[in-house]
Amino acid sequence: ALLADGSYFWTAAEPQHGWLEAASEGLNVTIEDVTERICALSLQGPCSRDVLSSAVGRDMSDLPFFGRADVTIGGVPVGVSRTGYSGDLGFELFMPFESALPVWDALIKAGENYTLRV
């Protein structure tokens, strides 16, 4: 995903990271592995947009498939992508690892009215 600062955020498994490193050789590109610093949470299912909208405090229905937005959940800056992998509506949320618990708590609270299951 293209970020506001002109950089890209890419989620990939180790083989793709190695391929990116090899393919970038000789280019004016920096590839940084932030695996140890970023937490990823997945919110999937038919009510996921409603839960996310409740946690964010605004309607998220304008986020298109493969779209990305910067939001705040539980006082934490969160990158949200609509890239569900379950075959249903879904979102992936990315935040600093040390800030994941307030996001988790806010999602659980927002999901109370939607039979959210962990």
Domains along the chain with CATH numbers: 1-33 (no CATH), 34-114 (3.30.1360.120)
Residues 28 and 112: their CA atoms lie apart, in Å, by 47
Q: What is the pLDDT of residues 32-48, one digit of tens each?
A: 888 889 999 999 999 99
Give the per-residue pLDDT at 53: 98
pLDDT of residue 73: 98
Residue spans of the chain under pLDDT 70: none
Residue 65 to residues 6, 19, 85, Cα–Cα distance (Å): 21, 26, 11
In the chain, the amino acid numbered 118 is V
The pLDDT of residue 117: 79
C-alpha–C-alpha distance, residues 110 and 117, integer Å: 12
User: Which pLDDT value is given to residue 98?
Assistant: 96
Q: 68-84: per-residue pLDDT in tens?
A: 999 999 999 999 999 87
Q: Where are the alpha helices (DSSP H) in the chain?
A: 14-23, 48-56, 100-110
* Cβ-based neighbour number of residue 82 at 10 Å: 19
